[in-house]
Every structure is written in structure tokens, then in C-alpha cells.
Chains A and B, each alone.
Chain A
Amino acid sequence: DAGITQSPRHKVTETGTPVTLRCHQTENHRYMYWYRQDPGHGLRLIHYSYGVKDTDKGEVSDGYSVSRSKTEDFLLTLESATSSQTSVYFCAITGQGAFNVLTFGAGSRLTVL
């Protein structure tokens, strides 16, 4: 997966609990993204980062926060998970500028009961 590791790969949790998903890259790429994939919706952008401590919201950012304290790590946090956040979460990276090829991690499947 081109040096992108997502963890955990699978998680089951209960409504109201906090959850953190981690994306780690070894490519030293500037841009990192979190997308969620749901049936009938394709991939939708949650948050993205264009550098250390530089983040911005995407289309479906409500209920999510992110942090990027190091180039290689991009964390996605659900402060209080809800059943509507049951989804598959994909991390992706690109190189300098947003014009390079988007490369995805393997995905993290989250189930909120």
C-alpha cells in the first residue's frame, strides 16, 4: 500500500465511546486525507491535511476531528461515536501539490453498535 498503514483495521465499539483511527505514512508526502465509504455514496472527504498542524474540513466533517503533529501521522477521532459513523474509513496521501496520484491505505472498518 505504498507505505501507508491504517490502524486498527477493524473495530467494533459502542455508541458514545471515543474512537481514534491512525494513518501512518513512510512516503514523506505533504497531503493526507480521510475519506469514508458508504453504500450508495462512494467516497466522501471527512478532513484533510496540507502539512503539520495544517488541516481543513471536508464534505462530511461533523462529528470528527483530526490532528497531525508529525508529517507521517494523521489521526481521525470520533469524540462520541454514533451508529451513523459505522463505515469504512480510508486514509490517502499525495505528494507536493494536490496534483499527484492519490494513493490509499487498506481501510479501517468501524462498527458502532
Chain B
Amino acid sequence: GIQVEQSPPDLILQEGANSTLRCNFSDSVNNLQWFHQNPWGQLINLFYIPSGTKQNGRLSATTVATERYSLLYISSSQTTDSGVYFCAVGGGNTPLVFGKGTRLSVIA
């Protein structure tokens, strides 16, 4: 099945810093989504982005499907950005496969 690798596994930032999270996948996909899991365990969808670029406030994402990767950018990070960020991918009508996540800690 499709493999999803996220990097880095852990990231510590000072408040106000910018960061880039990466998601590599092993096969063609037509569904890619980014999620944030907050420290209380809640999973929130950030982006549905099988290709192209999207922005939502301080967050933006870019997927280059032909090169099999996606990037999540966090600008001017805040302590509320802390948590785990997951990338998930799928092809055809198959369910999403998740990466192991990037754990982000933003320090005030």
C-alpha cells in the first residue's frame, strides 16, 4: 500500500518563528489532507489539497503531486499551534492513509 513519511518527527519553535513541515508519499494520489491534533486530542482538518496551494490565515499548504510531496507552512507561530500535524493521502476511492505526524512545540 501507499507509504507516507513526515518530517521532521519533532520540532521546537520560539513563538513568532516560521516553520515548514514536509509530507512525502510513495504513489500517485488524488486526495491529500492535513490535520492538526491539539494537546487535548482533538483532530481538526486544516486543508484538503491534492494539488496546488492554499492559504488559511497564518497557515498555507502546497502539494506537488507529480513529485509526490506536500508542504505545510506555519508563519509567526503561536503557542496555540502546538500539537501534532498529520498528513493523510489516498488514491481513487480508498480511505486515507496517515503519516506518523510531526510533533510541534511552540515556546513562549
Chain A residues engaging chain B, CB cutoff 8 angstroms: 1, 33, 35, 40-45, 48, 50, 58-59, 88, 90, 97-104, 106-107
CA distance A74 to B99 in the complex (A): 24
Interface residues of B (CB under 8 A from A): 1, 30-31, 33, 35, 41-45, 48, 50, 86, 88, 90, 92-101
Tell me, in angstroms, the Cα distance from A45 to B98 when the chains sit together: 9
A42, B1: Cβ atoms closer than 8 Å: no
Q: Closest CB-CB distance, A10 to chain B, in whole Å?
A: 12
Q: Is there an interface contact between B43 and A98, defined as CB atoms closer than 8 Å?
A: no
Per the bound structure, the CA–CA distance linking A90 and B30 in Å amounts to 23
Contact A44 B41 (CB under 8 A): no
Contacting residues, chain B, for A103 (C-beta < 8 A): 45
Q: Are B97 and A45 in contact (CB under 8 A)?
A: yes
- Taking a contact as CB atoms under 8 Å apart, the answer to whether A48 and B95 are in contact is yes
Contact indicator A98/B94 (Cβ below 8 Å)? yes
Q: Is B93's CB under 8 angstroms from A102's CB?
A: no
Residue of A nearest to B33 (CB): A102
Min C-beta distance of A49 to chain B, whole Å: 10
- B43 near A104: Cβ-Cβ < 8 Å: yes
Is A101 within 8 A of B95, CB to CB? no
**Once bound together, how far apart are the Cα atoms of A90 and B33, in whole Å?**
17
Further contacts, 11 of them, CB under 8 A, given A42-B101, A97-B93, A101-B45: A1-B42, A43-B98, A45-B96, A90-B43, A98-B92, A99-B50, A102-B33, A103-B45, A104-B42, A106-B41, A107-B41
Q: Are B100 and A40 in contact (CB under 8 A)?
A: yes
Residues of A within 8 A of B43 (CB): 90, 104, 107
Q: Give the chain B neighbours of A104 by CB distance below 8 A.
A: 35, 42-45
> Given the complex, which residues of B lie within 8 Å of A99, measured CB to CB?
30-31, 48, 50
Question: Taking A42-B99, A42-B101, A45-B97 as contacts, is the C-beta distance between A101 and B33 under 8 angstroms?
Answer: yes
B53: shortest Cβ distance to chain A, in Å? 17
Q: Is the CB of B93 within 8 A of A59?
A: no
For B31, the chain A residues whose CB sits under 8 A away are 98-99
